[in-house]
């Protein structure tokens, strides 16, 4: 299936590629809290979906595998902006005969959120977890 495949070349090389992301939070707890920030550990399923027509094969069944297959595929270069530690995840890879790739990872993300306690105990803290691409292009 991947004999002539080059993971260093993005699918649809000349056009943007649509990547869908879903996150399912399993657990979220405060690790550290100061006057200026809150540090969280968040356990989540982080899933990415996209199509790579280079690996589509109509006569092939859906392929399911673990990390070894992920390392051979082009993957979106997404990262969590305010995170400090994302240990090696548990990985599940699914490839359909149409070339749709799903990578599902169980991650523990350590991240921090600014806070302002000047109105304590009536302060309102909103924490946002941003995901970006390492290679954002206009």
- Residue 2 makes CB contacts below 8 A (sequence gap 6+) with 55, 72, 73
Report if residue 4 sits inside a domain: no
pLDDT of res. 49? 93
**Residues 52-63 pLDDT 10s:** 988 888 777 777
Report if residue 2 sits inside a domain: no
The CATH number of residue 41's host domain is 2.70.170.10
Which domain covers residue 66, as residue numbers?
19-118
The number of distinct structural domains making up the chain is 1
Report if residue 3 sits inside a domain: no
Report if residue 100 sits inside a domain: yes
> Residue 70 class from Cβ within 10 Å (0-12 exposed, 13-18 middle, 19+ buried)?
middle
The more confidently predicted of residues 98 and 14 is: 98
Three-state DSSP class for residue 21: strand
pLDDT of res. 138? 45
What average pLDDT does the segment 42-49 reach? 91
Report if residue 50 sits inside a domain: yes
* Residue 62: DSSP 8-state: P
- Residue 23 makes CB contacts below 8 A (sequence gap 6+) with 44, 45, 46, 47
**Residues 102-137 pLDDT 10s:** 999 888 888 888 777 666 666 666 777 778 777 655
């Amino acid at each position: 299936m991947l004999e002539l495949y080059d993971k260093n070349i993005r699918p649809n090389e000349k056009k943007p590629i649509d990547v869908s992301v879903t996150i399912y939070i399993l657990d979220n707890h405060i690790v550290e809290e100061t006057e200026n920030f809150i540090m969280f550990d968040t356990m989540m399923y982080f899933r990415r979906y996209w199509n790579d027509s280079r690996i589509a094969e109509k006569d092939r069944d859906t392929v399911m595998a673990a990390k070894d297959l992920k390392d051979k595929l082009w993957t979106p270069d997404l990262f969590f902006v305010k995170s400090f530690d994302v240990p090696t995840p548990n990985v599940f890879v699914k490839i359909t005969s149409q070339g749709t790739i799903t990578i599902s990872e169980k991650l523990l993300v350590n991240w921090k959120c600014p806070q302002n306690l000047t109105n304590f105990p009536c302060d309102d803290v909103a924490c946002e977890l941003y995901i970006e691409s390492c290679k954002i292009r206009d």
